[in-house]
Amino acid sequence: MKNLIIKNAAELVTCRGNRAKKGREMSELHVIPDGTVVIEDGIITAVGNSQEICAYLDESNYEVIDASGKAVLPGFVDSHTHLVFGGYRAEEFSWRLRGDSYMEIMQRGGGIINTVKATRQASKAELLASAKKRLDSMVSFGVTTVEGKSGYGLDDETEIKQLEVMQQLNEEHPVDVVSTFLGAHAVPNEYKGREDEFIDFLIDKVLPVVSERKLAEFCDVFCEQNVFSVEQSRRLLRKAQEFGLGVKLHADEIVQLGGAELAAELGAVSADHLLQASDAGIKALAEAGVVATLLPGTAFSLKAPYARGRFMIDQGCAVALATDMNPGSCFTESIPLIFALAVLYMNLSIEEAVTAFTINGAAAVGRADKIGSLDVGKYGDVVILEFPSYKYIPYHIGVSTVEKVIKRGVLVFD
């Protein structure tokens, strides 16, 4: 299905634009009633009213999908996940229900380090197979581009293994996988108490390989109390920038440490989590044009206070939403769950949430010029809902309303 017409959509939600939308702009979805989108060789070649477009096209040259009674949107961008990992941590989930906190479990040697052990042991084939299943699940929720992080190796061999798995998935799976190097995700046991030396190791031994082999587009760090300080994070991320990588941060997730301020100072592509971000940090993000990537599934799963999404948008931030899919703090691929949490508990409007999962998600992976909206020249990445309006996405709580998914003009989920 290389040349495709999707016509008669009850709502064609274009999300028009090729950069992150800030503040009030996030409410503008640019919906075309009775809309049609045309895709040729994977690229969008026309967008508009069905009558106008179908009047001049010879439909016999195309596959045609009749989207009568259905809403059509850009493919969703899940811009923050940890999708390649070994093992699971269901036991820790039950400890958290009993009252143990995420950081307590991490302090006593569980948490991320638990997954590191399993990921070091896993073969590449095992990691590929489990991550592929997760990608299949993501597509069923309408995701056409996903960001994935390393960070469960914390040694050169396993970090590279994770990144190679993502590279292979990107080649073999219809979903585009954007790779992020998160070597500074936790302090491995062999470097306990020697955090600065671990940062040196990442800078001297791993970053150069990641950069030379083009294994990642971004570098991320878990900037958090008892993990990596603002100073350590700054040192690593500055080096990453010298190596030509864009930077991201797990910022102000558990404790207010100044991660948002650091993201603004560095001109990061995104600052993520931000549950505890300060007013000044939020203002700085808005001014610096750093995408604030909010992950309400994690707040939900950790029973933590939600990030101040409404306030951030009112302050002029560009907000993106993502799942944070990982085996510890938020084990879900569910886009509709995140939509519902965003509108019910962070007080985003449904329009803002759609923007956050499309064009702003695209901006959070540096691809707002290629994906995230239904505009001529962009990839033909499209989601068709079984319902006539985007408003059904959070309304049908936690259940996917996605009927079909098209990736670069090819039907990949039906």
The binding site for ligand NIG (CB under 6 A) comprises 82, 111-112, 115, 222, 250, 253, 298, 324, 326-329
Residue 195, annotated ligand binder?
no
Name the residue number minimizing CB distance to ligand NIG.
Answer: 328
The nearest distance, CB 324 to Fe ion, in angstroms, is 5
The nearest distance, CB 80 to Fe ion, in angstroms, is 6
Residue 204, annotated ligand binder?
no
The nearest distance, CB 62 to Fe ion, in angstroms, is 41
Helix ranges (DSSP H) in 70-111: 90-98, 102-107
Q: Which residue, 73 or 187, has its beta carbon nearer to Fe ion?
A: 187
Q: Which residue, 22 or 80, has its beta carbon nearer to Fe ion?
A: 80
Q: Which residue, 252 or 324, has its beta carbon nearer to Fe ion?
A: 324
Q: Which residue, 11 or 253, has its beta carbon nearer to ligand NIG?
A: 253
Give the number of other CB atoms < 10 A from CB of residue 269: 25
The nearest distance, CB 219 to ligand NIG, in angstroms, is 15
Among Fe ion, ligand NIG, none, what binds residue 110 when CB lies within 5 to 8 Å by partner kind? none
Beta strands 176-184 and 143-149 are: parallel
Burial 106-129 (b: 16+ CB within 10 A, else e): beeebbbbbbbebbbebeeeebbe
Q: Which residue, 10 or 254, has its beta carbon nearer to ligand NIG?
A: 254
Among Fe ion, ligand NIG, none, what binds residue 115 when CB lies within 5 to 8 Å by partner kind? ligand NIG
Among ligand NIG, Fe ion, none, what binds residue 329 when CB lies within 5 to 8 Å by partner kind? ligand NIG
CA distance linking residue 222 with residue 326, whole number of Å: 14
CA distance linking residue 274 with residue 318, whole number of Å: 13
CB neighbour class for 216 (10 Å; exposed up to 12, middle 13-18, buried from 19): buried
Smallest CA-to-CA distance from 257 within 276, 238, 270, 273 is with 276
Residue in this structure with the two tokens 């070994």, named with its chain if needed: 86
CA distance linking residue 94 with residue 77, whole number of Å: 30
Residue 326, annotated ligand binder?
yes
CA distance linking residue 226 with residue 101, whole number of Å: 14
Residue 253, annotated ligand binder?
yes
> Does an H or E element contain 350, and which?
helix 350-357
The nearest distance, CB 68 to ligand NIG, in angstroms, is 41
Among ligand NIG, Fe ion, none, what binds residue 298 when CB lies within 5 to 8 Å by partner kind? ligand NIG
The nearest distance, CB 47 to ligand NIG, in angstroms, is 35
The nearest distance, CB 102 to Fe ion, in angstroms, is 12
Residue 185, annotated ligand binder?
yes
Q: Which residue type does 316 have? A: G
Residue 80, annotated ligand binder?
yes
Smallest CA-to-CA distance from 143 within 357, 352, 359 is with 357
Q: Which residue, 25 or 155, has its beta carbon nearer to ligand NIG?
A: 155
Residue 250, annotated ligand binder?
yes
Evaluate whether 388 touches 33 at the Cβ level (below 8 Å).
Answer: no
Residue 360, annotated ligand binder?
no
Classify residue 304 by its DSSP letter: P
Residue 60, annotated ligand binder?
no
Smallest CA-to-CA distance from 314 within 16, 28, 26 is with 26
Among ligand NIG, Fe ion, none, what binds residue 261 when CB lies within 5 to 8 Å by partner kind? none
The footprint of Fe ion (CB under 5 A) covers 324
Among Fe ion, ligand NIG, none, what binds residue 253 when CB lies within 5 to 8 Å by partner kind? ligand NIG
> For residue 308, what are the CA distances in angstroms to 8, 160, 269, 277, 281?
38, 35, 19, 8, 12
The nearest distance, CB 14 to Fe ion, in angstroms, is 30
Residue 79, annotated ligand binder?
no
CA distance linking residue 197 with residue 112, whole number of Å: 19
Binding site, annotated residues for Zn(2+): 80, 82, 250, 324
Binding site, annotated residues for N-formimidoyl-L-glutamate: 152, 326, 328
Binding site, annotated residues for Fe(3+): 80, 82, 250, 324
Binding site, annotated residues: 80, 82, 89, 152, 185, 250, 253, 324, 326, 328-329
Binding site, annotated residues for 4-imidazolone-5-propanoate: 89, 152, 185, 253, 329
